[in-house]
Amino acid sequence: MIVRKGDRVVVQGMTGRQGSFWTEKMLGYGTRVVGGVNPKRAGELHGGVPVFASVREAAAKTGGVDVSVMFIPPAAALAAAEDAIGAGVKLLVVLTEHIPSRDVMRMHALAGAAGCRIVGPNTAGLVTPGEAFVGIMPAFNPRIFRPGNVGVISRSGSLGTLICLNLLDAGRGQSAFIGIGGDPMLGTTVADALHALEKDEKTNAIVLVGEIGGSMEEDAAATIKAMRKPVVSFIAGRASPPGKKMGHAGAIVMGNRGSYASKRSALESAGVRVVDTPAAVSEALRL
C-alpha cells in the first residue's frame, strides 16, 4: 500500500469538481494517471487525461492499471468498486465517507476474493514524498511533505497533515504516508500498514496516528512487539466523551471498548512511545 512513482493510476469520477482538482494535483506531483472514468464522457480528454467508460475499459486500453482511486458519492461507491476490482486493480483507494455499511462489507468481500487491497473507506489517501500521491492529501505542499525516512500511519487526513507538518518543522521528512481511513470497517488496518512500513527500505521509524474507537491499535500491539523499527504514537480523542460518534463513524467509545486508556496501555506495553500532543511526536522520535 505504499504508492510508487511507476504505479499506473486510474481516477474514478475524474471529471467531477473534486476529481478534476485532485487529478491535476496528482499529475503535477508526478503520479502516473493513465486514465479517468466517467461513462457519460468516455472518449474525451479531460485535463489531458483520456476518459473511459469503466476501469475495465481503461485497463484494456492503457495496458493495465495498478491503482484506482474513487471520487464517487456513497450511493454509487459499491458499483464503482466492483468495476475496479473486476478490472484487476491491485490497490483500490476509497476516499468516500458515509458509504452504507452493507455496501462496504460487499466491497471487502469482493476485494478479498480477487486479491485486491482496499485502503479506506474514508481515507485521505497515500503519499510517497518525491514519488507519487493518490487521494486528497496536500502532498505538493513542501512545508508538509518532503522525502525522508519516517513512515506515517493515520486514520485522519487533517491530523495526519498536521503531524507531517510538525515532522518537517523538526527536520524529518517522510518515507510514506498511509491514510487508513476513519470508517469502522477498513480494508487496511493499523497492523497491515505497520507490516508494510516494517518491510519498506526507506523507512527507519514509524509514527502511528491513532484515534479512539474500535480495537485496531490494540490488535496491532502484537505486530509491534515483533518489529525492529521504533514506533511513536499520538492517539486522538483523550478528551472526547464516551458513547458519541466523534465525526468519524469509527470514532466512538462503547464502555471501555475503544477507549483512549485501553489503546495507550496496549501500545505502551508493546514498547511504543505514546505522546500527549502532536508537537511531542518529533521529540519522541529523537529519543
Partner 1 sequence: MDFEEAEAKELLRQAGIPVPPGEACRDAEAAAAAAGRLGRCAVKAQVPSGKRGKAGGIRLVNDPQEARAAAKAILGMAIGGYRVERVLVEKCADIAQELYVAVVNDVATRGPMVLFSRSGGMDVEEMADRIVRIPVDIGKGFQTDPELDEDIGGFVKRLYDLYVQTDAELLEVNPLVRLKGGGLLALDCKLTVDDASLFRQPGLAGKGAREKMTELERRGRELGLKYIELPGNVGVLANGAGLTMTTMDVIEHCGGKPANFLEIGGDAYTKAEGALGLVLANPRVKSIIINFCGAFARTDVMAGGVVEAWQKLKPSLPVFFSVHGTGEDEAVALIRQKLGMDPFDRMEDAVRAAVEAAK
CB of 209 to partner 1, least distance (A): 7
If one asks whether residue 100 binds partner 1 (CB under 8 A), the answer comes out as yes
Q: Applying CB under 8 A, which of residues 13, 148, 151, 187 lies at the interface with partner 1?
A: 187
Q: Taking the chain, what is the end-to-end CA distance rounded to the nearest angstrom?
A: 28
Nearer to partner 1, 36 or 210 (CB): 210
If one asks whether residue 238 binds partner 1 (CB under 8 A), the answer comes out as yes
CB of 235 to partner 1, least distance (A): 9
267 and 221 Cβ atoms separated by less than 8 Å: yes
CB of 108 to partner 1, least distance (A): 4
Contact stretch for partner 1 (CB under 8 A) within 44-52, 55-63, 84-92, 207-215: 207-215
| 3-state SS class at 26 | helix
Nearer to partner 1, 95 or 207 (CB): 95
If one asks whether residue 158 binds partner 1 (CB under 8 A), the answer comes out as yes
H/E element holding 88? none
CB-based contacts of 141, cutoff 8 Å, min separation 6: none
Contact stretch for partner 1 (CB under 8 A) within 8-16, 55-63, 100-108, 266-274: 100-108
Judged by CB under 8 A, how many residues of this single chain contact partner 1? Answer: 61
- Phi and psi at residue 78, to the nearest 5°: -65, -45
Is 46 annotated as catalytic? no
Which DSSP string do the residues of 126-159 spell out, in sequence order? EEETTTEEEESS-TT-TTT--EEEEEEEES-HHH
If one asks whether residue 162 binds partner 1 (CB under 8 A), the answer comes out as yes
| 3-state SS class at 72 | coil
CB of 214 to partner 1, least distance (A): 6
Instruction: Tell me which residues in 55-94 interact with partner 1 (CB under 8 A).
Output: 74-75
If one asks whether residue 269 binds partner 1 (CB under 8 A), the answer comes out as no
Q: Applying CB under 8 A, which of residues 37, 209, 224, 274 lies at the interface with partner 1?
A: 209
Cα distance between residue 135 and residue 143, in whole Å? 18
Q: Are strands 125-128 and 117-119 parallel, antiparallel or unpaired?
A: unpaired
Nearer to partner 1, 13 or 157 (CB): 157
* Half-sphere exposure at residue 41, Cβ-oriented, CA atoms within 13 angstroms: 16
Cα distance between residue 190 and residue 1, in whole Å? 12
CB of 163 to partner 1, least distance (A): 9
Which DSSP string do the residues of 190-232 spell out, in sequence order? HHHHHHHHHH-TT--EEEEEEESSSSHHHHHHHHHHT-SS-EE
- Contact residues: partner 1, CB under 8 A: 18, 74-75, 95, 97-102, 104-106, 108-109, 112, 124, 136-138, 141, 143-144, 154-162, 165, 182, 184-185, 187, 209, 211-212, 214-215, 234, 236-241, 244-249, 251, 255, 276-279
Q: What residues are labeled active site?
A: 248
